[in-house]
Chains A and B, each alone.
Chain A
Amino acid sequence: MSNTRSTSTHELTVSGRVGVRDYVSSGAPYVWLTASAIAVSIIITVALLALTAVRGIAHFWPADLLEASYVEPGHAPFPVLAEVRSSEEVTVARLINAGIPVSEDQDLYQRLLLKVGNRDIYGADFRYVLDEWMQERSYPEDATVWERVEWGNLHGFLERVTRDGEVIAARDQRWDAYRDVQKRANGLREEIREIEKDRIGAVNYKLERLRLAEKRLQLDGKSRASDAPAFAKIDAERDALKQRYDTLNQERGDLYRELGRDSITVRTIDGDLHEIPLSKLISGWQPNRMNVFQKTGFWLEHFWQFISDDPREANTEGGIFPAIFGTVLMVILMSIFVTPFGILAALYLREYAAQGPVTRAIRIAVNNLAGVPSIVYGMFGLGFFVYFLGGSIDRLFYPEAAPAPVFGTPGLMWSSLTLALLTLPVVIVATEEGLARIPRSIREASLALGATKAETLWRVVLPMSSPAMMTGLILAIARAAGETAPLMLVGVVKLAPNLPIDGNFPFFHFERKFMHLGFHIYDVGFQSPNVEAARPLVYATSFLLVMVIVILNIAAITIRNRLRERYKALEH
């Protein structure tokens, strides 16, 4: 329609030069204002997406290490080897307020945020410095960053590589030698992890099941005297498991000894030498020596690690794999719950219920449930699903686990049910819309050919409205993937020791608590002890979550548009 109109700003173009009075009375300033409102909205949207994307992506880019001497008046020069994280202008009053001895002659100063690393030495990873006090700047080729198992990154220079206390490489080969021993250490660590987490974990899991089985027997009124074979079986199994545990434990001990073989000596920027065993190091790189392609490769590698690794150090380091896994699994489970029931409800409302005021009221009520705050669904989930349903299940089926709850505590199952309830209105509304779009003539044709109502629905109506259902489901998934508040009540935790699916019978453990991307963002960003260090990681997580949701939404919009095109032809 807008094409047929010319806007008021253009009306004025006809008369050539206009005065201020004409300009105002024509209403054009207001039109410009309305235009600016939509422009601002678009800028905000794009800026938000760009901000998360840039910060999230930049996190894995290996920043150059700046070596400099920080000369604060009245203090001894302080050598730094750091990544420059950000730079901003600060007024002199704020600096004086912060106790920094700056001269008042200058109004504004440039302040840099440096990541100095070496938290175990300096106490903090980050440091604010004034740009003009940074002297003797250089980017030494052999400056190295090490990612450590704990205490964050280490910045320094590699001095020598030691094996069993003997120096094996000190000069030119030391970097290559380090790369070799690092690779070996990482391999060993992987083996240890596999033993600890998978194999010993499985043994522990089975032992716990045996304990519960024994308790169950006792609860059923059986005792060692009355039912000796059952107990003997349990004892035999337990002994076998304990033996297995001992073997594994020995294997693990050997691997740890192997891992402790090598160490390196690092010279930090203040000249101190630190000997660090390889068991504490994860990787090392020399960013100043890397070219763009190497950096890109590094970026890809680290991004992959980010999405495939477990978190470390209270979630502020390492990857977010369990959070991705938990989110995806929860969404899949939710889809399994929500799809059939949403479609059934929509079919009922559109195809079977008498279209009277009652149905209309139900329809409005269902619509409006989509606007009810998600935290209310969370409360309902906690009270009804977790405490009432879960508590009842525990009493009926898991008396042996008492007092530890099995289902009577927040978990994956209840989370997906709660979110299914939360997204039901979305699916119902979308499906109903799809059903309403199917031309009456098509149904009538089917019925006229002798099909029953159910057959018409199943063979004609449902296939034709499937894209609408798909849209509804995708919108539901997009909403569920980003929803966090209710999950905080019904099942997410900051760190889940086990995934809800693993190799232990019965393989699916839906009663377990799980990690979630949205909650991960909240937790790491707001509850972690080292927010500054964790922030880039949160941006990266946000970026991932935004990407998933944007893609899902674009998919939904595309499907919806295609669907509309497809049935436009049928409508007459």
Chain B
Amino acid sequence: MSESSNTGAAPVEAMGEIVAGKAPGMRARYMKDRLARWVVWVGGLGVIGALLLIFVYLLSEVAPLFASAEFEPRQSFSVPGDAGARTLFVASEEQAEVGLRVTDRGELVFFDLFDGAVRQTVELPGAGGIASVSQISAEQAELAVQDDAGGVLILRHRYRVSYPDDKRLITPEVEYPYGESPMTLTGTPVRSLVVRDSSDAVLLAAIDQDGSIVLKRNEKTESLFGDAEISEGDVARFAPAVEADALLVDPQAAWLYAIDRSGGHIALYRIVDEPQLIGRYEVGAAVRQASFLAGGISVVLVQDNGEVSQWFPARKETGESYLARVREFALKDKADVTALGSEMRRRTFAVGDADGLVTLFYATSGARVGQHKLLDEPIELLSFNPRANYLLAVGADGHMRGFDVRNEHPEISMSALWGKVWYESYNKPEWLWQSSAATSDFEPKFSLMPLSFGTLKAAFYAMLFAIPLAILGAIFTANFMSAEMRQAVKPTVELMEALPTVILGFLAGLWLAPFIETNLPGVFLTLLLLPLSIPIFGFAWTRLPQSVRLRVPDGWEAAILIPVIVLVVWACFALAKPVEAVLFAGNMQSWMDHTLGIDYDQRNAMVVGVAMGIAVIPTIYSITEDAIFSVPKHLSLGSLALGATRWQTLVRVVMPTASPGIFSAVMIGLGRAVGETMIVLMATGNTAVMDPSPFQGLRTLSANIAVEMPESEVGSTHFRLLFLSGLVLFVFTFLFNTLAEAVRHRLRQKYQTI
């Protein structure tokens, strides 16, 4: 056809060359012709381009997920403020403009992160020397400073943002929430001071001179205006199970880790009431650095043998707690680690070594997300700003250098997406999808497994319902049905395809699901009796007097069956209640639960299977019917002429010939079932469980997109991950459909040659 238009166009053009220049009317016509050609080309290619754009766009949204971290250095400068003093602590604020350095001479130096110029210097009250600085809370920017005399001062470094003359101005401030006079712990300087500030108490913990652990709980009473009053508590003291030289206490002040760094031992205590030893654990090597990750659940230990390990408390199956060594991170060639810094809201941490090399890891995925040589000297301190887009490194010789870090999506790795991951507060590795929670520092669980599983499970049950009905129905329609009936039946079934899925989903969720729940025995009885009753009816039909049988015209068997099926189904459901009362003690679900241990969920895979099955039946039916109907007639006629029965002809001749067509029908149906959204959204509970049981709910990729997309932050990992699941759906259905199309094309050619 199209060749005709092409060959047809050629002579006109040739003619145009002859006459175009002569008649002005002709010239206008040829102009129009060229214009039309141009418009169609541009428009047509534009439309096709727009459709291709979908794929390109999805890809462009997904691609950044797999990029690794990048570092962009800012100007290097020597430490701001008193160069002779030792730097105990560095931090930087949200906007990565102002940094803070705390020196051992009791000075807080706020400086510009671009050029190192000192913005402001604050002398700590008391103005003596400082023994140590420890962070209480990164989110609150709260620090505990221990002076030479062993007094503990709590302070917050705050940054006020104002916009004079429409330019951002950041003013650093220091607050003393519990006053400017220090709290005391033992009266003498202690090692490894940890302070935890909760709503009702301030907990001080440290290792004292003789190696025992001291704990002190200062009760806090807060007035209406937020002023806190501290009443000093008693000092508790106990000897740890290891020769501790480092302490860690989690933010909830529930767990205390006493670490023997040189010996490589950890003792875990539960300190909610009296300190209670949970266990003593071997690390396997001496420990260089130990730190909490964001969220304060996981502890990261940098070991002397070049390994980095992650630990957190978990429970055994017996219910007892223990400290689990969760995973290891491989450092390149046994680096001599000198610094460890972790992000405030994500589980990323940076490890710096003596060569000035920094490696970024993401704890949950266990992946190394980036590596960069920051300095030429050993790194002494590493500090992220709260947004984790800036990393400040302090070298051993006192040089400081800041880096803009682009590490948008450390959470994603192949193993995090598809493998079992041991998440914090879980007792074993699992596949989980939980994309958001109330707190900002929670550990997102981005496993696509439960969603993919749910998608395939829904598609599986849908196909289980649809394939037999659609293909058997198509066989009858194409082979045995009378032409008049076929003319009515085919459009009716095809009309079902146009039924909006939102209506199917609504009926499935609000009508079918409760119906099946209360009539479960009836459903099973129907599944059992209906297929049995049909051949029996067929046999009974042969025994009917001929006068009755001949009244039904050839090819109308399906029509006789309609009342029969309605009757059988009705009888099954009418019988079901007494059957349930007698066999299942009146409640089949609780019977299943008690005797078979099967949980029953009202909106389950069975309901989805039926509803989505109904949605895909027309697709499969229509294509299968076409494939069978267009099998060349002489093939089946030949078979019949050789004495085969109708059924033999169908099974041995027609079906094998049409099977590629049926295959492609199933593929297209499967593609539709996989991408269907509204039905699964409405007919399942949308819980991302991985349970193959037909009586359990599920959550599919598509429903997940519909639920979570509107709330997802643009450009976040979660957002891009949803695009990734969309891309997976796109590619999956596109491949299925192309495969089906190719098979059908081959089949059509085959029919032409037969």
Contacts and interface: CB of A to CB of B under 8 A. Distances in A.
A257 interface: no
Contacts of A26: 645, 647
B577 interface: yes
A13 B546 contact: yes
B590 interface: yes
Interface stretch (A295-303, A316-324, A373-381): A373-381
A278 interface: no
B500 A481 contact: yes
B671 to A, nearest CB: 5
Interface in B557-613: 557-559, 561-562, 565-566, 577-578, 580-582, 585-587, 590
A31 B480 contact: yes
A7 B483 CA distance: 13
Contact of A38 (B6, B9, B477): B477
B741 A344 contact: no
B385 to A, nearest CB: 24
Given A7-B480, A9-B557, A525 B542 contact: no
Interface string B450-480: 0000000000000000001111111111011
Nearest to B538: A32
A41 B473 contact: yes
Interface in B476-491: 476-477, 479-483, 486, 489, 491
Interface stretch (A76-84, A228-236, A283-291, A449-457): A449-457
Contacts of B505: 522
10 contacts: A3-B483, A8-B645, A36-B530, A92-B586, A349-B44, A364-B741, A368-B741, A379-B726, A428-B47, A482-B502
Interface stretch (A45-53, A164-172, A174-182, A238-246): A45-53
Interface string B726-754: 10011001101110011000000000000
A205 interface: no
B678 A522 contact: yes
A51 B511 contact: yes
Contact of B500 (A8, A346, A482): A482
A91 B675 CA distance: 39
Contacts of A570: none
B502 A484 contact: yes
Interface in A513-540: 518-519, 521-522, 525-526, 531, 535, 538
Interface string A473-495: 00000110111110011000000
Contacts of B531: 33, 36
A364 B677 CA distance: 24
A22 B32 CA distance: 74
Query: Chain B: interface secondary structure?
Result: helix
A424 interface: yes
A542 B501 CA distance: 11
A457 B35 CA distance: 13
A39 B498 contact: no
Contact of B647 (A27, A93, A485): A27
Contact of A351 (B5, B39, B471, B646): B5
A2 B3 contact: no
A376 B492 contact: no
Given A341-B47, A447-B11, 8 more contacts: A1-B629, A17-B542, A38-B473, A38-B474, A364-B741, A373-B729, A454-B33, A526-B510
A380 B336 CA distance: 48
A436 interface: yes
Contacts of A12: 542
Interface stretch (B52-60, B72-80, B434-442): B52-60
B733 A372 contact: yes
B734 A368 contact: yes
B100 to A, nearest CB: 31
A313 interface: no
A352 B50 contact: no
Interface string B26-44: 0001101101110111011
A420 to B, nearest CB: 10
A281 to B, nearest CB: 30
Nearest to A7: B480
A347 B554 contact: no
A101 interface: no
A143 to B, nearest CB: 29
Contact of A546 (B503, B511, B645): B503
Interface in A336-369: 340-342, 344-355, 362, 364-369
Interface stretch (A65-73, A147-155, A264-272, A382-390): A382-390
A95 B15 CA distance: 89
B726 A375 contact: yes
Query: Chain A: interface secondary structure?
Result: helix
B507 A375 contact: no
B403 to A, nearest CB: 29
A450 B8 CA distance: 11
B647 A30 contact: yes
A553 B497 CA distance: 10
A485 B534 contact: no
Nearest to A383: B61
B557 A35 contact: yes
B1 interface: yes
Contact of B510 (A38, A40, A345, A525): A525
Contacts of B58: 376, 379-380
A348 B5 CA distance: 12
A280 to B, nearest CB: 30
Given A483-B500, A485-B678, A526 B509 contact: yes
Given A32-B535, A344-B44, A366-B51, A355 B6 contact: yes
Contact of A452 (B12, B538, B742): B12
A421 B51 contact: yes
Given A375-B729, A443-B4, A484-B500, A489 B44 contact: no
Nearest to B485: A2
Contacts of B503: 52, 482, 518, 521, 542, 545-546
A348 B587 CA distance: 63
B281 interface: no
Contact of B677 (A348, A375, A384): A375
B518 interface: yes
A549 B582 CA distance: 46
A11 B587 contact: no
A34 interface: yes
B555 interface: yes
Given A368-B741, A379-B722, A40 B565 contact: yes
B33 A36 contact: no
Contact of A455 (B11, B29, B681, B723): B29
Given A31-B480, A45-B492, A485-B706, A36 B586 contact: no
A359 B645 CA distance: 45
A355 B534 contact: no
A20 B538 CA distance: 11
B473 A34 contact: yes
A41 to B, nearest CB: 5
B499 interface: yes
A527 to B, nearest CB: 10
A33 B705 contact: no
Contacts of A535: 510
A340 B47 CA distance: 10
A241 B435 CA distance: 48
A440 interface: yes
Contacts of B319: none
Contacts of A531: 510
A485 B678 CA distance: 6
Interface in A523-572: 525-526, 531, 535, 538, 542, 545-546, 549-550, 552-554, 557
A376 to B, nearest CB: 5
B12 A37 contact: no
Given A6-B554, A11-B645, A348-B43, A374 B499 contact: no
Chain A CB within 10 Å, residue with most, of B48, B585, B702: B48
A374 B723 CA distance: 13
Nearest to B574: A89
Question: Top 5 closest A-B pairs, CB basis?
Answer: A348-B44, A27-B647, A373-B675, A93-B586, A482-B500
